[in-house]
Structure 1
Amino acid sequence: MKRVSVVTINFNQDQITEELLISIAETNTYEDIEIIVVDNGSTVNPIPKWTLKFPDVKFIRSEINLGFSGGNNIGIKEATGDYYFLVNNDTEFTTGLVQKLVDVLDTHPQVGIVSPKLNYFSDKSLIQYVGFTQVDYYTCRNKAVGRFEKDIGQYDNLLGQTGYCHGGAMMVKRETCHKAGLMADNFFIYYEEVDWGERINKSGYQAWVRGDAVIYHKESMTVGKKSAFKEYFMNRNRILFIRHNAPPLKALVFYLYFVILVVPRNIVSYIKEKKYNFISILFRAVWWNITHSKNSEELGFTVNKVS
């Protein structure tokens, strides 16, 4: 039996993280499992109380917020499993979830990473994800398969390759990480799992999705539906993803598309919504990519104030 390390990140969301840990305890039937929680520099360190409340869980404290990519990388480095199951802390497990994903990795050597179906926690009959299309380098856009569809069992037999796995829940082989590397820390949050997926795909492994394995997701619990933080990193990392992955000609087309169409469209949207401060946030995101190398660890945003 392969050992599974479940890795999740907490940042100022003690109750949400505890709800995840309880859901794992109530639904998990897989025997060889370890659970690792990385506290990403929360204002108040929750680990002392957690060690008493959840004695079987391994807790790691980072004194600074390292984001989704950095926090998960810390957890992976401390994990002892053959497979790493990276899950958002705002998720809820279902019975048999871990076993179903392990079965995919055990029986398909070409698969390096696999995701379950994600349904929204607020409406568990509504699908968020059953796969991603490949990113179009010309626009840096892709689509989530099944999003907002009512779940009537139409994907229960789905088992196969997809463009990328979902950052909210993805199980990856240890050997995949050795070959493709870990997530790029400088993405911090947003596009990091797609960038990682590109490297996993290029390393020779496939990304798969299993439709009868389900996890529920309380989307946008950390940074809100729309915030300056989210707007900055979504725009900054969209450009950074292209810099990391696109061939020169396709990258040039994207830059023209972004400057001529995306920037004006976003500015008009900000003005209509009276979010005038987002205009400077957008230009900061663009300017970061002009003034920093694609591997720079300087984020250009004060992240520890985000809650």
Structure 2
Amino acid sequence: MPQQPPLVALVILNWNGRHHLQQFLPSVIRSGYERLQIVVADNASSDDSLQYLQTHFPEVMLLPLSENFGFAKGYNEALKKIDADYYMLLNSDVEVTPGWLQPMVQLLEQHPNNTACQPKILAYKNKDVFEYAGAAGGWLDAYGYPFARGRVFDYCEYDKGQYDNPQQVFWASGAALLIRSADFHAAGGFDEYFFAHQEEIDLCWRLQLMGKKLYCCPQSVVYHVGGGTLPRGNSRKTFLNFRNNQIMLAKNLPWSEKWWKIPFRQMLDALSAWKGLLSGDGGYFIAIVKAHIAFARWVFFGSRQWVPVRRKPLTQLQGVLRRNLVWQHFVLAKKKFSEVVKS
């Protein structure tokens, strides 16, 4: 008998997103993958998401959660209850294309150390442009700044096929993340202290330290609205990004790096905060100040999800720029990934 393809549980974490489910869930149902279980885990929505799904999509499995746990804990709670070979974590505001899952599953099935991957993520509102949250696969610079093939800080490139080769990356986007279920749990899942933002980068860092490989598979294409819950420029989002990035560095860097890189990053954060204040964005300034205070609170009082294996110097991992991205982008005016990262 021919071997069955792996079972994939596609899990959408929903919070008051009925309009997104109505718009994008039909494309998910038409994915065309043979063994696909579609699950919507609901973070205690106050809209009529669950009633709508029960009426219009009875084939979708519903997992109501008792409260809004955020992205990290919401997925952790939901995935404890789902048995599958792979988890496909998908934002509710993503339009997928027919046959998008097969190339990613095939890529991960090539070797047991291939643990996770993402598709090429383009902007829903401008489908020729890479989307901010992941683009064609995530990288990190030597000081912890995330960027991606096709996106450096806020500059998103046009997709002209320049990143269509499957490639190992540092992190795969949580907007559309295919991951082996066993590896997700072995790494401890998402760090629930993060609540939301950069929790997938932290998870991918831990997976690399466990000897696993992460990829972008551009033969799979999806379109992401982005900012569905917290839009870019939102003070809460700014706070979470700056706080969580410092926590991620403190958790995963070896002591030989963290003792000087974290103060250096805090200095750069402070410069960014003052720049925002002088340009009239007081909310941005306050969010960064609060993020630094919250990081200090985490150092002394926060719960810790430590790395299960020995930490390595950051530049020994895949998908790491050995230079400072801030200098490359803002001083040397290198906008594109291909300009920052020379092959």
* TM-score (normalised: structure 2): 0.80
Contact 1:186–1:295 under 8 Å retained in 2 = no
> What residue ranges of structure 2 are gaps of 5+ in the alignment?
305-343
Counterpart position of 2:297: 291
Counterpart position of 1:237: 244
- Tell me how large the CA RMSD over aligned residues is: 2.0
1:24 is paired with a residue of what secondary structure?
Answer: helix
Counterpart position of 1:209: 216
Aligned-residue identity in percent:
25
Aligned length: 293
Deviation at 1:150, TM superposition (A): 2.2
Structure 2 CA distance for aligned equivalents of residues 45 and 271 of structure 1: 43
Counterpart position of 2:71: 68
Counterpart position of 1:88: 91
Deviation at 1:297, TM superposition (A): 5.4
C-alpha change, 1:249 and 1:37, in structure 2 (3 Å) is same
Contact 2:13–2:40 under 8 Å retained in 1 = yes
Structure 2 CA distance for aligned equivalents of residues 85 and 174 of structure 1: 9
Contact 2:41–2:78 under 8 Å retained in 1 = yes
Contact 2:95–2:223 under 8 Å retained in 1 = yes
Counterpart position of 2:329: none
Q: Which of the residues 10, 17, 28 maps onto 1:13? A: 17
1:287 counterpart letter in structure 2 = I
Counterpart position of 1:131: 137
Deviation at 1:66, TM superposition (A): 1.4
Task: Work out whether 1:155 is the aligned partner of 2:163.
Answer: yes
Structure 2 CA distance for aligned equivalents of residues 259 and 225 of structure 1: 21
Deviation at 1:242, TM superposition (A): 1.0
2:140 is paired with a residue of what secondary structure?
Answer: coil
Counterpart position of 1:77: 80
> What residue ranges of structure 1 are gaps of 5+ in the alignment?
299-307
Contact 1:101–1:114 under 8 Å retained in 2 = yes
Q: Which of the residues 260, 264, 271 maps onto 2:267? A: 260
Counterpart position of 1:140: 144
User: Per-residue displacement from partner, 1:250-289 (whole Å, max 9, x unpaired)?
Assistant: 222223223333213313313413x324433322211122
Contact 2:118–2:177 under 8 Å retained in 1 = yes
Counterpart position of 2:28: 24
2:177 is paired with a residue of what secondary structure?
Answer: strand
User: Per-residue displacement from partner, 1:22-49 (whole Å, max 9, x unpaired)?
Assistant: 1112x31112111111111222352123
Structure 2 CA distance for aligned equivalents of residues 291 and 207 of structure 1: 32
Counterpart position of 2:327: none
